[in-house]
Amino acid sequence: MIVLGIESTCDETAAAVVERRRDGTSAILSNIVYSQITEHAPFGGVVPEIAARGHVERLDSIISRALRHAGKTVATVDGIAAAAGPGLIGGVIVGLTTAKAIALVTNKPLIAVNHLEAHALSARLVDNTLFPYCLFLASGGHTQIVAVRGVGDYERLGTTLDDAIGEAFDKTAKLLGLPYPGGPQVEKRAKNGDLQRFSLPRPMTGRDNADFSLSGLKTAVRLEAENIAPLGRQDIDDLCASFQRAVTDVVFSRVRAGLMIFNRRYGKPTALVAAGGVAANEMIRQVLDMVAREALVRLVVPPPELCTDNGAMIAWAGAERLELGLTDGLDVSPRARWPLGEVAHAIPAPKFAPSSRLRHTPDKG
């Protein structure tokens, strides 16, 4: 099964061709990502209109390159997948409409992929991880701990009550005058900083639930920064190091609690899986490794280029869904909001009614 995948939900214009074999193993035949960072950097964050226009201008050529690198054409792939949300609606419309057009002219199946589901399944792309596993998903817009029981079968065990972790990194960077996107900048500056200089809060640690709260931590950084203003280079390095340390302590506590909830509900997971841009952070990877060792579960973290947004994860999720017959009609809607719990999944086929095999959740926009 060979699927073309298109990603355009935020500031990456990406396309990839991925093969999924019958035994569940995979091959990434191509994976082309164009990051719009330089276009958004002057504004200190993603500007939705600029992002959507960027996708319109570049998506066709990115798709052509992905097909060429894979040695394929639109006629020789088995399905066309695109992220249909959640995300910035202008970009989502560009990617999904392009996928619909290709599916229409080639008469190939269309798969409207949930971007979060694509992050959730990326461990199976790199590692063939079996269900059920415990997912720690941390990106610019989402922070969740999820029980992944099957394709389309997700239960959220914990989430953030305010900012996402990536958002906290981005906002902290901004208030310290570091360029967008903040996560990699904070990580870089933290390398030379003193992680004990500032005593910052660790919200929610020690609680039984697996929820996060990060806005107070970001505010604490702002207050410390205001106290010692004007900030020198070393001050910024120290604030970055202290902030990153506090976040990693929070991640340790929350993921540990999430694993305990998972164990109580489903028994031991096959693995602890990390996904989303924040999982590219080296220190966060280290604490996840500590939690996994303590719980005696395997840790699966895709390489950084598959943790941040990319087309390969969309193509892979498309292939997993296509394998189960979970395809979409050309009338499927793009969605700005689309919680994982609302993703359609296959249910066991009733003996005499094969046409009712698919359960589709109504689109709530």
Number of residues that bind ligand KG4 (CB under 6 A): 19
Strand partners, 34: 13
Mask of contacts with ligand KG4, 303-322, x by CB under 6 A? -----xx-------------
Output the smallest distance, CB 8 to Zn ion, in A. Answer: 12
Question: CA 283, CA 211: separation in Å to the nearest integer?
Answer: 20
Q: Pairing mode, if any, of strands 345-346 and 358-359?
A: antiparallel
* Interface residue with Zn ion, options 139, 185, 213, 253 (CB under 5 A): 139
Position 31 contacts ligand KG4 (CB under 6 A): no
Question: CA 9, CA 59: separation in Å to the nearest integer?
Answer: 12
* Interface residue with ligand KG4, options 44, 141, 216, 339 (CB under 6 A): 141
Question: CA 28, CA 48: separation in Å to the nearest integer?
Answer: 29
Q: Which pair of tokens denotes residue 250?
A: 């929070």
Options 19-27, 47-55, 165-173, 347-355: segment touching ligand KG4 (CB under 6 A)? 165-173
- Backbone phi and psi for residue 207, each to the nearest 5 degrees, phi listed first: -80, 155
Mask of contacts with Zn ion, 246-265, x by CB under 5 A? --------------------
Q: Which of residues 94-123 bind ligand KG4 (CB under 6 A)?
A: none
Question: CA 213, CA 219: separation in Å to the nearest integer?
Answer: 12
Position 122 contacts Zn ion (CB under 5 A): no
* Interface residue with ligand KG4, options 277, 311, 318, 334 (CB under 6 A): 277
181 contact, one of ligand KG4, Zn ion, none, CB 5-8 Å limit per kind: ligand KG4
237 contact, one of Zn ion, ligand KG4, none, CB 5-8 Å limit per kind: none
Q: What is the DSSP string of 119-146?
A: HHHHHHHHH-PPSSEEEEEE-SS-EEEE
Return the sign of the alpha-carbon dihedral for residues 300, 118, 153, 259: positive
Strand partners, 275: 137
Interface residues with Zn ion (CB under 5 A)?
Answer: 139, 309
